[in-house]
Structure 1
């Protein structure tokens, strides 16, 4: 069962839960934008503890609380609503779409950030410039609720609004606050990229490329010859009288390889030594 509360996050329920309306699963990206700083006049980032108290304990803050408050500098996350409840960070005008409820889940994340904030003496222009600590874990939890790795209205790259109610209604994925109908905010400006998915299972085997017919001269010594020897034995074409010097091409390699080519269905001169590119590919000699 998918976790209602994000593993590793602090759980600080504010109550006041309510169901969502169903539909495409969504996640909404916000930044807290607590101060208006500029490049020439940066300001210190508001402490995480202050925002945690604001959303978790202050009546005004609870009225606009998200699901998650995320500190991208430390990786700290605090959760105020379970995933299957609506949260309250979006404007929801009377009539029209119920923004905070418009999906099977509508998981809202407030990143602790504003442009030109200063942390540890360093100034950060955009959220993507921060360490984004904890993003991979938070993304994995959101994805577990069926939110696709997609930005239906485009990944945010600036503080501009771009809203389409029909897209909002029909497509699941990640939305910037700037994309949500009935809302006027233009945040988050930027957002970290989705983590690269690691391939499942063991890595694909790599095989030696065909070195050319002239390479297969008698007396050629190479680790490739030894691995060819092992593969010919493995596929049931062992015509060797000895395993001594198996890294050197000799009569046993010729007899064994010709037996392999006959096994593949080659006849006449086509089944004779030296190997050709097609039979070599079929033998699958592993790289060292």
Structure 2
């Protein structure tokens, strides 16, 4: 059996252990984002010991499994790997986000954008030394979490969420990719050590409603076109320029929304996250 407690990490057991639900093994990437800073106004990094004390005390109700200091390579673990932690919002009646896997290992990196140490400013997590990442990756992988990002490795603070991908696919997820959550972190994350490629997601993540504007050209739209036709929701006048969003796409998607039971303004032909996830547009 893999180690319940990460080798080399300080063990600070806060109790309140609870089982996970089983399913695809997952790891969740967070940043602490405990200060708001900008390029014009950087802010000194909060001490690691302050965050460790917070998660062991008043912040125990939102504590992760691991607090990671990417500057010095320190780790503190608050609950064992086979327990859920509580860093994710978990709404009643939906997926139990903190438990939705054989493990759901939650990692909080001590970081916020434009944090400062001395005179050096760090805009992104990947700009830090990322000390200890190889050890952290290896421990997470030992619990069956593949070295892959099913919804893509985070590269900015944009949210992309697909509940169907989350439910079915093991791997690493950014907080910005978790159903029921609104956070946009981590913004970036170090590349896997010893790997050159990552397994792409099975289905195309929802690109956001603003993506679907007249004249938008993308292979994602062409893949959507094929899926709508396959689902019997073909309102296209022509198959030409199938990779460009137009009136035929809007009419066809409205048919798909109505097929799912939507009515009125909820069947306006503009994709939403839930209907998109059910369409299963293949990753391109």
Structure 1 length-normalised TM: 0.67
Q: Secondary structure at the match of 1:16?
A: coil
Q: Secondary structure at the match of 1:100?
A: coil
- The residue that corresponds to 1:170 in the other structure is 168
Offset, 1:57:
2.1
- The residue that corresponds to 2:19 in the other structure is 19
- The residue that corresponds to 1:125 in the other structure is 123
Q: Secondary structure at the match of 1:53?
A: helix
Q: Deviations over 1:196-239 (max 9, x none)?
A: 159xxxxxxxxxxxxxxxxxxxxxxxxxxxxxxxxxxxxxxxxx
Paired with 1:92 and 1:79, the residues of 2 have a C-alpha distance of 21
Matches within 5 A, 1:271-282: none
Point out where structure 1 has 5 or more consecutive residues left out of the alignment.
199-288
- The residue that corresponds to 1:224 in the other structure is none
Q: Deviations over 1:32-90 (max 9, x none)?
A: 001110001000000000000000122xx000000000000000000001000000000
Paired with 2:63 and 2:193, the residues of 1 have a C-alpha distance of 26
- The residue that corresponds to 1:28 in the other structure is 28
Q: Secondary structure at the match of 2:62?
A: coil
User: How many correspondences in the alignment?
Assistant: 196
Matches within 5 A, 1:131-170: 131-170=129-168
Offset, 1:27:
0.1
Offset, 1:121:
1.9
Considering only CA atoms, is the larger Rg found in Structure 1 or Structure 2?
1
Paired with 2:100 and 2:119, the residues of 1 have a C-alpha distance of 41
Query: Which aligned runs of 4 or more in structure 1 are off by greater than 6 angstroms?
Result: none
Point out where structure 2 has 5 or more consecutive residues left out of the alignment.
197-284
Alignment partner of 1:53 is 2:32? no
Matches within 5 A, 1:24-103: 24-58=24-58, 61-103=59-101
Q: Deviations over 1:70-118 (max 9, x none)?
A: 0000000000010000000000000110000000000000000000000
Paired with 1:155 and 1:119, the residues of 2 have a C-alpha distance of 26
Paired with 1:171 and 1:47, the residues of 2 have a C-alpha distance of 35
- The residue that corresponds to 2:260 in the other structure is none
Q: Secondary structure at the match of 1:161?
A: coil
Paired with 2:14 and 2:118, the residues of 1 have a C-alpha distance of 31
Structure 2 length-normalised TM: 0.68
Q: Secondary structure at the match of 2:164?
A: helix
Q: Deviations over 1:133-169 (max 9, x none)?
A: 0000011000000000111111000001000000000
Q: Secondary structure at the match of 1:160?
A: coil
- The residue that corresponds to 2:187 in the other structure is 189
Paired with 2:109 and 2:99, the residues of 1 have a C-alpha distance of 20
Q: Secondary structure at the match of 1:110?
A: strand
Offset, 1:119:
1.2
Q: Secondary structure at the match of 2:138?
A: helix
